[in-house]
Structure formats: C-alpha cells, structure tokens
Chain A
C-alpha cells in the first residue's frame, strides 16, 4: 500500500490505478486514455476481502465483484447488494472487476455507485497526505468523475447496518442483458405494518451521478403503503430528473423509464 501511495504521489496525473481493469483497459485499447504509468494494486492483500464490522460491513476496494456475488455474508446481510452485483455485465467481467474500481470509475449508469448512495456507504481514500472518509453522496461528482484527487486511491468501503424491518427492490432496464442501465432503481422501504417508516430510493442512468431522491422519499414517510402512494413517490422521483440523451435513449425516455421503474420497484418491495 505504501508503495502504491508513493507512486501515485510521484506520478499523479500521469498515472492511473489498475485493479481489475474492466473499465480502464477498454479505454486504453481504444486509445481514449493514455496514462504514462499504471499502478497495479490488485495483489495488495489488505485491500481485498469482506468483513463484518459490528452491524455493518467493510469491503476492501480490490474485492472482486465475483467475490461479492459468492459471499454468503453479503447475501445474508445485504441482499440488495447481492442482487445488484449480478446485474453487472457478465461473469468474466465480474471475475476481474473490483468494487473499488467500479466506484472510482463513477459511471452514473453503473450499479455499485447507486447501491453505495442508497446505503449511505463511507469510502476510505488514501494518499501520501493521509487518509479521509468520504460519504458516498459526496464521492460521485459528475460523469466519470469522482472526488478522488489525482494522488488518491480508494481503499475500503464501509456499509452501515442494513435497516431492520426493511424490504427492498432492485431493477434496471438496459438495451440487452448485461448492458449498462438505461435507467435503474435501488429502493429500500422500511415499514411498520402498513405504514412506511423510511424510504430510500437511488436512481442510476438518469443523471451525471447516481441520485438519491430526498423529496420523493419524504413523501412516503408516515403514509400508508399502496399503489396511489407509490405513484406519487415515483412521479416525484422522476420530476426532478434531467437525464442525458444518447444513442440508446433520449432524455425524455430515461425520465419516463425512471418513473415506471420506481413505481414497479416500490410495488415489488412492498409485496415482498
């Protein structure tokens, strides 16, 4: 780790951190990124692994997505994460791709950044200058831009305790199986019988970063579970959106899709 950090300090802008390479290497192959140096951290043992941390969980940045997929601990404590990870591309990508790599790449259409903001994860970041912890919502700054300074690297992700009495849903729509999401939603509904005591909704693919929807979440709290409520919540979640347009979908399409998916997700969470 010390060596990695020192190299990052030395080369800064000229260097890129390499873990799984599943996001970075395509860009190199296409000659869209041309770092002078790659700092390979994939074999730093302290950066890989999943551990309980009280009621929470610590995930080393270099833990592969496949490790998460196969983790009984994650399946038991954070079933939403277990489900979300299966939507990432295809198994050979997940064999190499890392949790930290996906988060650092900060693609707003990716699954893990959305799960991180949904769960209010805390990201530990290290440089020669020291260590700091960045809340997930502050970590994703813009399209493919994280809060990492050029000499910093992500070392660990801490997930707070999974809320009790919570049901969840995760879904995305993509052009084909395994593609980046046109729009996606991760949702948690906390309930006391038929009353909502807490709601969290994270949307991805619909902005420059993954988005929580505090106004929509606020609408749900204290209300009775039902389709009418979910429709209002979904409408509110989508109303604030100004998604990008690209070859795969217009802004209007993504906005509409976000509302449809949010509604369906809340219905499915409530039915669990």
Chain B
C-alpha cells in the first residue's frame, strides 16, 4: 500500500465547518414546532420527596407540560445495570421517584416554548423534601451505622471483592521492609466544553423516534431509548453529528435525554435540552474519588517483592447505565503490575454509594493504578535512599523475560518499550544536569522538582478476567459509489478525534485514491454498523481502520477482477493509483474507478456470469490487542511563599505505534496532560460535609487556561513492526500518566522541607499546609 496520506499532517476534513461556524452541535439544531426542556433539580443531598406542587408552573406563559417521577412507571422502564457478579444493581427512574440522592438530581421536567419560559416555570415548582442524613464520605458510608441510600439494599456497600495473585505471604516474609501508605485522589470531572444535549423528535403517525444527541455511542443509546421507552428498535434512530468533547462522559443512557424522548412521545413534538454549565458540573457526572491503603514488601536494594492494595471507590448516588463503574477498579486491578516485575499481588475493591453525583468514565478511568504505583516508586525511593529512576529500572521487566502474562492474567506482556521510553525521557530532561540545577537552586532558596511516571495503556487491549470484553472487534462497511467515490460507514462516534480525517487518510491509501474521494460517515444508527462501544477505550486508531481496510480489500478485489476483464489483464497484475486502474509496470491501457463502478451498478450483465458486482462490503475486524507505552517527566518550581506551582518543562516519550496523523496524535497527548495538570492544581468537584455541592460555575471549578499549561515536548518511539495495523490508541494516556508525574515533581521539590504528599489535589493553600507555613 503506497502511503500518500497516512502519516502526514493533512488538513482535517472536519475543520472548515468548525472554523466558519457551520458546525452542527445538538443545540444548533432547530426543528419545526420544537419545544425546550428545563429541569428542577434537587437542592438537598438525601431526602424523601413528600410532594411536588407544579400547579402554578403549569399555568405560566408558554408552558406545555410538567413531568415528575410518578409519571414514569406507566410508560417507561427504570434504568438498571445488567447483572454483574457481586455488584448490587438497584433500579431507578430517569426522574427522581420517591427519593432524591444527590444535589442536582433531576426531580421534575418542564417543557415550554422557550428555554427562558421553561426556566421561569422551574422557579415556580415547589418540592417538599423530608431530609435524611447525608452520606458524604465513602469510608463512613460503608460503616454499619451509616444512613442507607437504597433501603432495599440494607447498606451502601455496592461491591466488595478480594483477589490474590502469586504468593504474598512469602513476599512479605522475605522483605527487608514493609512500607504502608494511604494514598488518595479527589473527585473531579470531565467537563467537556459542550455539556450533554439531546433533541428528541417523535412522530406519532409513524411511531418513530428520531433522537439527536451529543453522544459517543449512538447504537448503545438507541438500545437504551428503545428498551427504556418501550419502542421497537427499528422505530428508533439516533443521530450524532458534531459532539463537543466527552472524555468518557457521553456514553450512557443519560436521564435527561430519556426524558426529552419521553416528553416528545407524549406531546408529539420535538423537545430539546442542552445542559448549561451549572448542570454539567453538578449532575453531568464526576469521577476519580478513590482511596487506597498500599502495603509494599521491599528489599533494601529497591526490589519490590509483593504489593497489597485495598481500594475504596466513591460511586456516588447512582450507577451509570449501561457501563458500570465497577469496571474501572477491576481494570485498575488487572493493569496495576504494568511493565514491572510485580508477581505477588493482592487487590481489594470496595465500592461505596454516597450522596454525590454518579461516578462516570473519565479518560483512562483506571488511572488510580498508575497514580498509586508511580507515587509508590518515589515514596519507596525516599524511604530506601534510592534514586527514583533507578528504582524503576530495577523493577521493570527485561525483554528477555517476556512474553509472559500479567500477574493478574489480564493480558500478555510483550514488545515492551517502557524502559526505552524512560531512558529517552530521562535523557531529554537532562536528568543529571537537573539534579545539579536543583541543588544550586536550593542553595538560593528556590525549590525545583522533577517527577516521572511510566505506564502502559490498553490501546486497545482485551482485558481478561474482569467480565467485560467489548473491545475485541469492530465492523465497518465500505461502498464504492457509482462515480468511483469511496464511502466508509464507521461505528466510531468521534468527538474531537478527527476520524473523518484519519479513516479517510488510511482508506485513501488503501484504495489508491485521493482523500477528497473518500467520505467517512458516522453517527447515524440507520446506516452505521452496530457496536456496543462507540468511541472510547483508545480504539479509534486501530479498530475502525482494521475494519475499514478489511471491507476495502473486499471491494478492491471485486474492482480489480472487473478491471481485469475490461483490460484483459490478470487482476494481480493491476494497481490503482489516483482512482485509475492500470497494469503494474506501465502500459497505456487503463480504466477509472468511475467506469468500473458505472458498469457494476448499471450494466452488470455485460460482465462474465458469476462476476461479483456488489460494490458494498462489510467486514468485522478482530484484534488481539496492543499497548501504548509512555513515560512522562515534568520539571516544576514551587513558590514556597505563595504555594503556586509552575510547570517549567513537560516531556513525554510515547510509543503508540505509527501515528496516522502526527498532529492529531500529539493533540490527544497534550489534551490529556492539560487535564492532568488541571486535576492536580485546579480542579475539584467539591462537596461540603452536608452534601451541598460547591463548585457549580467556572468561577469555582477551574479549568487550566493557556497560561497554566506549558508547552509539551513529545518524542515518539516507533518500533519496527509487521503488524497489519501499526497504529495504536493514544487517547487516554495523557491523563493516565500526568497526575502521578506532577505530584511526584511537587513532592521532589519540597522534599528538603520534609513534605510528604499522599493526595492528588494540591492548590496553593494545600501546598503551604503541607510545608507547615499555615495550619
């Protein structure tokens, strides 16, 4: 395959519409007769609903309908996860029914002729609550004396398991030291620039629901709408156009979107809802609040003999359907040994329900495994008087010891490049030079620090032993149009990943046409192949490409056979260049894809009997999996007077295979790192001890700006490979490695002051508390 486009920085297909204001996000769509929805949301964290008085609201100008939870059971099914072993799965309706369980939970829905009027009416709806004790701390939540969120469950322990691998007793017995630490990370959120949004349009004359959504899994959403609203699947169509970011937050059956569809079915008119920022921060889902007690059995020379982790996860009030939160700690358990020689390993998971917004997927949702492990190396290095780079080198697998399975049996480790990534990162940041600079700076009363983080990311990689295996295959359909153009129907649902461009790059090369002849269609469930996971899990560089190329191969084979007949040449002696088929090695005879396609479509009978003239092909690509591997290194300076942290350099060495589009790949890495910097220094989904949510605007939930994110230096390692699809995922790595890297750097800077950091959120006030300048 001649590569004209793959591997180059072509101009993105998506950009002309995004740059000139012609993009179509859900809130940009207007349908005749469209109505607008707004939600009344709970102002208390935990209560029974005594009454809802909407009488005044219903009389207000422009108000068409008001719905409450009690309206649902007659017409809709409750949300509930499919059974998962050991997981409690309480059912709940799209609107709160009988009880509210977090501040921001939707309690009533107003449908009106304008958004302004809908919100006016929300102010006139009076909900009487009978407050219950709020459950706001995950450790308190699992104690027997805690108030219980779901009465039928008896307690708030939604899941508990203990898994052991290898021989921990021997490991701990043979250790020189056992070091125990409690390490936690805080609650924060995805915060895409576009919040959730849905526009439902039900036509009662056809019984047909068309639903426009800001979503990353249109087929799964279609499933959900069909099941929850009791509509036959063939009468439900989901359309995802431009989606303004998601980072994992938009794969679910979102309660407000179920309600817009519900309302549209009752009213026979289109109903639109787009979350405002307060709704997004309050109820759009939150993530990452976890705490672990880690016990490390080590030798004095830094060898890690065994590791025991007891993790508690704060699930929030509800589970997110259809992807259960429990998958993430299970993935963390599966992946934690990573590229290191960790064979004696124990991992406990306890998941607690609390009165907070639900815990949803956020870019590398198993990140706690990297945070705990990479923080641990630095902590152990200090305890044992070793260098943090050397302790990692000591414990990384050597390639001659591979392939071998992860201790958890989750996958096979092979082709590891983590060691090379570490070596290159260390060289790029001039590690020895930095240590000298650090000493000089300390003498001047300045505090510089360096942090490292090494990790592997399934990209995508089937992970065994956790009961979920939705990454292993993907389907695509390719059609050669009568004019010789190539249309690719992908199961992907891009929201920034540039798939309209990357898939076209590879398919253009695969077919031998120019990119302008390839069109990638996504998001319309009527025409794109089914998948139970749309865009996510770092699969977008590999799975849609493998599937599309497979379908393309089938088409190309048929095309060359037809061309072979037309040119009286063996198909294997033909090539396609610039949309024209001609003999390899030259000759003046040629035929264009257009001419071939026209014959196939309109005059197949002129071809020899038995010629396959079907110009559409579907292919399912099965993939054994791959890893992306990376090392992050950051250099910081901490102002110990103000507590402010400046990131002076950030270096990434990345092995994600061959980038299809280098700028798109690097953009994914930079974006993830910006979110990691945000997580450590700026972002917290803060609740007070009464369960009131505090960070409901962008004045309080702080996203990093161009002044807080440094220039990120990215180096790629591209190993030699004969893989069919040498492009691996990279979407999540930036946010998996960066929190540990930044925290390691800050602790390294403040080590002379005796600072030990066992948390992830480090605003300036906290830094001064850790230093001891303030209480």
Contacts and interface: CB of A to CB of B under 8 A. Distances in A.
A33 to B, nearest CB: 13
A16 interface: no
A35 to B, nearest CB: 15
A177 interface: yes
B764 A30 contact: no
Interface in A22-74: 30-31
Interface stretch (B233-241, B542-550, B703-711): B703-711
A175 B641 contact: no
A180 B702 CA distance: 12
A250 B768 CA distance: 11
Contacts of A250: 765, 774
Interface string A252-267: 1101110011001000
A248 B773 CA distance: 17
B763 A177 contact: no
A177 B768 contact: no
Contacts of A182: 764
Contacts of B765: 248-250, 252-253
Nearest to A182: B764
A176 B705 CA distance: 8
Nearest to B775: A252
B642 interface: yes
Contacts of B763: 175, 248-249
A247 B707 contact: no
Interface in A203-250: 247-250
A179 interface: yes
Interface residues of A, number: 22
A5 interface: no
Given A30-B278, A264-B641, A253 B768 contact: yes
Contacts of B699: 179-180
Interface residues of B, number: 28
Contact of B695 (A180, A247, A255): A247
A87 to B, nearest CB: 13
Nearest to A248: B763
A12 interface: no
A91 interface: no
A163 interface: no
A227 to B, nearest CB: 13
B774 to A, nearest CB: 4
B319 to A, nearest CB: 28
A173 B642 contact: yes
A175 B694 contact: no
Contact of A176 (B641, B643, B682, B700): B682
B707 A177 contact: yes
Contact of B682 (A175, A249, A252, A257): A175
A247 B686 contact: yes
Contacts of A173: 642, 644, 764
B708 A176 contact: yes
A3 to B, nearest CB: 28
A176 B702 contact: yes
B14 interface: no
Contacts of B641: 260, 264
B702 A252 contact: no
Contacts of B775: 252
Nearest to B642: A173
Interface in B633-659: 641-644
B278 A253 contact: no
B195 to A, nearest CB: 15
A30 to B, nearest CB: 7
Nearest to A249: B765
A260 B639 CA distance: 11
Given A247-B694, A249-B763, A256-B773, A177 B119 contact: no
Interface in A91-105: none
Contact of A253 (B643, B697, B708): B643
B123 interface: yes
B710 to A, nearest CB: 13
A256 B704 contact: no
Contacts of A31: 119, 123
B278 A252 contact: no
A250 B765 CA distance: 7
Contacts of A175: 682, 702, 763-764
Interface in B747-775: 763-765, 768-769, 773-775
Contacts of A30: 278, 697
A30 B119 CA distance: 11
Interface in A163-180: 173, 175-180
Nearest to B704: A176
A41 B769 CA distance: 47
A246 B457 CA distance: 38
Given A247-B686, A264-B641, A177 B705 contact: yes
Contacts of B702: 175-176, 179
Interface string B397-414: 000000000000000000
A177 B119 CA distance: 33
Interface string B93-134: 000000000000000000000000001000100000000000
A30 B123 CA distance: 12
Nearest to B773: A256
Interface string B644-682: 100000000000000000000000000000000000001
A264 B694 CA distance: 33
Contacts of B644: 173
A88 B700 CA distance: 17
Contacts of A257: 642-643, 764
A31 B682 CA distance: 26
Nearest to B767: A253
A12 B245 CA distance: 45
Nearest to A177: B707
A178 B702 CA distance: 12
**Taking each of A178, A247, A256, A261, which has the highest tally of chain B beta carbons within 10 Å of its own beta carbon?**
A247
A145 B642 CA distance: 29
Contacts of B694: 247
A92 to B, nearest CB: 13
Nearest to A183: B642
Interface in B229-281: 278
Nearest to A259: B641
A230 to B, nearest CB: 13
Interface of A: 30-31, 173, 175-180, 182, 247-250, 252-253, 255-257, 260-261, 264
28 contacts: A30-B697, A31-B123, A173-B642, A173-B764, A175-B764, A176-B682, A176-B707, A176-B708, A177-B705, A177-B707, A178-B707, A179-B702, A180-B699, A182-B764, A247-B694, A247-B695, A247-B700, A248-B700, A249-B764, A249-B765, A253-B643, A253-B768, A253-B769, A253-B774, A256-B768, A256-B773, A257-B642, A261-B642
Given A253-B769, A253-B774, 18 more contacts: A30-B278, A31-B123, A173-B642, A175-B682, A176-B705, A176-B707, A177-B708, A247-B684, A247-B686, A247-B694, A247-B695, A249-B763, A249-B764, A250-B765, A252-B765, A253-B768, A257-B642, A260-B641
Q: Which 5 A-B pairs have the closest CB atoms?
A: A177-B707, A253-B765, A260-B641, A252-B774, A249-B765
